[in-house]
Amino acid sequence: MIKYHCGVLAAVCAAVFSSFAGTSADIQALIDAADPGATVTIPSGTYLLETPVLVNKAITLAGDSADRTLVILDGQAAVNCVELSEGATLRDLTVQNGAGGKTVGSVICGAGVYAIGATIDNCIIRGCALDNEDTKFVTRGAGVYLNGGMVQGCLFTGNVNTGCGSSPGNTFDSQGLAGGGIYAVGAATVQDCRFTDNRLVNNKKGSRADNGSGAAACIGGASALIDNCLFKSNSSSNGGGAVCAGNGAMVRNSTFDGNTFGAEKYAYGGQVAAFGSKVIGCVFTNIDTSTIQDDNGYGSIVLAVGGAEVTSCLFENNTYYRGGAIGCPSGQFTASNCVFKANRSTDRGGVISLYSGSATVVDSWFVENDAGSYGSVVFARTGCAVALRNCWFLRNKKAGGYAVALYNSSANSATIENCSFVDNACGVVADWDNGQSVAKIKVSNTLVFETTGNYHPFGAHADFATNGNITFVASDDMTNLDLSDASGNVDLGETNPKNIFRDFYSDPANYALAPVSPAKDAGTAEVPDWVGEGTLDMGTGEYEVKDVADYGVKIDRVGAKPRVVNE
């Protein structure tokens, strides 16, 4: 039966119920009769909608049990299903086969649900579609369009957004074709949701045939949040195989598995396109999109531009053409407290690829990464600035030649401070000048130990700053180390790892400095003491990489095999 709580209009509700035949018109009549704060509960069944259900007041429209499969609102691939206004709630039901969407100005959106300041709780949104060929319109959110409000505990599956590419530009606002599952802006929260098999399809009829992002979700705004969601097997013909996030939005504590994207030249973000947004506590593993060759790194696992921040994330066993984890074709990004393990590019930049962008990475691990050619960890092409502080580089491989490769521009620069390079088969940093003026490189208070293979730790073209203050531990394959163009270099004269590290041979190894390590307090005084505790050690031994307690994020680093335990 229909349960209703209509206050002063109870008699009206009773009259509607007495003739209830299970049509969308009957549901609408009960909604129209309900007072704010009422709950209208729909009995089990499938309701074939001829017009959208309009919940235009602060009431709850709900299925009759927590089993969200028992009540189905079906748009019959003909109409959009539900419209929710400020304060309304949709709960415990399925919305399916919505089509057409709601047109607001030049935006067509919300074939399943169009919601302003509303809540959608424990629902299934499936099989909803937007399909537009008119280049005067953009399509956003085939499953749900949400402006403010919350979506929680929902499943989005099989929703498809097909539309036209819009104006050029690698910004969030230029992604006119966006959000196969959901498009959320303003103070919108999407949490505890699962997104599977949603699609974004560019029909190539717009001014930008390579534009479009966010097969599962597209969110924007400083208060917009995706939290604790799973994105699996979503697909974009362009970029953002799972998520497009911009303008200060946050993607937090979420997992990405097997999402795919297209081969367009500017396919922004293989898994996440982060335009000035924050990606925190997320896991990216076993993603291989190496068949797509993109010289600019737009389609790396995470596209990070416009001041994007990547914090406390795990990138493991991912492969891409350029940038096995993060790509930054322009602008700049920061990464902190991350683990990058066993990522690979088939061309350049095993972890990070910069075209003309800049990167600052702090408090992070780089373990067993590799590239097909330049840069086992970082590749920087033109006019890039790379800053690495308090990072561990462990067992990275030699195909990339050097961990950090600067290429083809005197405007490139690299600053490496308080880092540790241990047991790598690649060199530390080098510049390939191709006849141009070489890049500026400064390496400070950095420990280099057991660089194997045929690579000199520092490239022959490297133009180190006059006061480079490079510090290193000599080993058998570094006896010819010549840094005569820099000052402040220290050869600690120790090659036995037992005398340098706390427990080099354990599994996992403990790379903290041994109490008697010659690297203790061996940092140069010319470099500011950014830890603030007197003389610096060499490398990262003085400052342990920590979890980000502010976000409640804990990354398990045991799988990456490095650990630092200081007494």
Q: Is the pLDDT of residue 546 over 90?
A: no
In percent, the amount of the chain with pLDDT more than 90 equals: 37
- pLDDT-derived band at 14 (thresholds 50, 70, 90) equals very low
Top-confidence residue, 379 or 169: 379
Least confident of 101-105, 231-235, 390-394, 490-494: 490-494
Q: Is the pLDDT of residue 143 over 70?
A: yes
Compute the distance between CA of residue 487 and CA of residue 475 in angstroms, rounded to an integer: 20
How much is the mean pLDDT over the chain?
A: 77
Adjacency order of strands within the sheet including 509-513: 501-503, 509-513, 562-563
Top-confidence residue, 399 or 460: 399
Top-confidence residue, 71 or 173: 71
Q: Is the pLDDT of residue 189 over 90?
A: yes
Compute the distance between CA of residue 40 and CA of residue 6 in angstroms, rounded to an integer: 9
Least confident of 70-74, 266-270, 511-515: 266-270
pLDDT at position 274: 87
- pLDDT-derived band at 296 (thresholds 50, 70, 90) equals low
Least confident of 302-306, 448-452, 559-563: 559-563
pLDDT at position 263: 58
Least confident of 27-31, 266-270, 391-395, 397-401: 266-270
Adjacency order of strands within the sheet including 319-322: 319-322, 344-348, 370-371
Q: Is the dihedral of CA 349, 353, 356, 360 positive or negative?
A: negative
- pLDDT-derived band at 199 (thresholds 50, 70, 90) equals very high
Q: Is the dihedral of CA 393, 312, 220, 177 positive or negative?
A: positive
- pLDDT-derived band at 551 (thresholds 50, 70, 90) equals very low
pLDDT at position 33: 94
pLDDT at position 540: 74
Q: What average pLDDT does range 311-322 have in this prediction?
A: 88
Top-confidence residue, 237 or 23: 237
- pLDDT-derived band at 172 (thresholds 50, 70, 90) equals low
The helix (H) or strand (E) run that includes residue 16 is: helix 10-18
**Residues with Cβ within 8 Å of residue 196, at least 6 apart in sequence:** 155, 156, 157, 158, 232, 233, 234
Q: Is the pLDDT of residue 9 over 50?
A: no
pLDDT at position 13: 47
Maximum mean pLDDT: which of 111-125, 199-213, 425-439, 468-482: 111-125
- pLDDT-derived band at 535 (thresholds 50, 70, 90) equals low
Which residues share a beta bridge with 220? 185, 246
Q: Is the pLDDT of residue 206 over 80?
A: no
pLDDT at position 214: 82
CB atoms within 10 A of CB 505: 9
Q: What average pLDDT does range 279-295 have in this prediction?
A: 80
pLDDT at position 539: 74
Give which of 355, 289, 278 is closest to 317, Cα–Cα: 289
The helix (H) or strand (E) run that includes residue 184 is: strand 182-191
pLDDT at position 477: 38
Give which of 418, 323, 403 is closest to 367, Cα–Cα: 403
Q: What average pLDDT does range 164-185 have in this prediction?
A: 71
Least confident of 100-109, 463-472, 538-547: 463-472
pLDDT at position 171: 56
Top-confidence residue, 2 or 50: 50
Top-confidence residue, 502 or 462: 502
pLDDT at position 460: 39
Q: What average pLDDT does range 450-463 have in this prediction?
A: 49
Indicate the burial class of 371 (C-beta count within 10 angstroms; 0-12, 13-18, 19 or more): buried
pLDDT at position 495: 64
Compute the distance between CA of residue 348 and CA of residue 346 in angstroms, rounded to an integer: 7
Least confident of 111-115, 319-323, 422-426, 563-567: 563-567
Which residues share a beta bridge with 316? 285, 341
Q: Is the pLDDT of residue 135 over 70?
A: yes
- pLDDT-derived band at 557 (thresholds 50, 70, 90) equals very low
- pLDDT-derived band at 458 (thresholds 50, 70, 90) equals low
Any alpha helices (H) in 474-530, and if so which ranges?
Answer: none
pLDDT at position 2: 41
In percent, the amount of the chain with pLDDT more than 70 equals: 71
Beta strands at 71-74 and 94-96: parallel, antiparallel or unpaired = parallel
DSSP E strand stretches across 192-325: 194-196, 199-202, 217-220, 225-227, 230-232, 235-236, 243-246, 250-252, 255-257, 260-261, 272-275, 278-280, 283-285, 302-305, 308-311, 314-316, 319-322
pLDDT in tens, 459-495: 433 333 333 334 443 333 333 344 433 444 455 556 6
Least confident of 131-135, 160-164, 226-230, 442-446: 442-446
Least confident of 6-10, 45-49, 255-259: 6-10
Q: Is the pLDDT of residue 545 over 70?
A: no
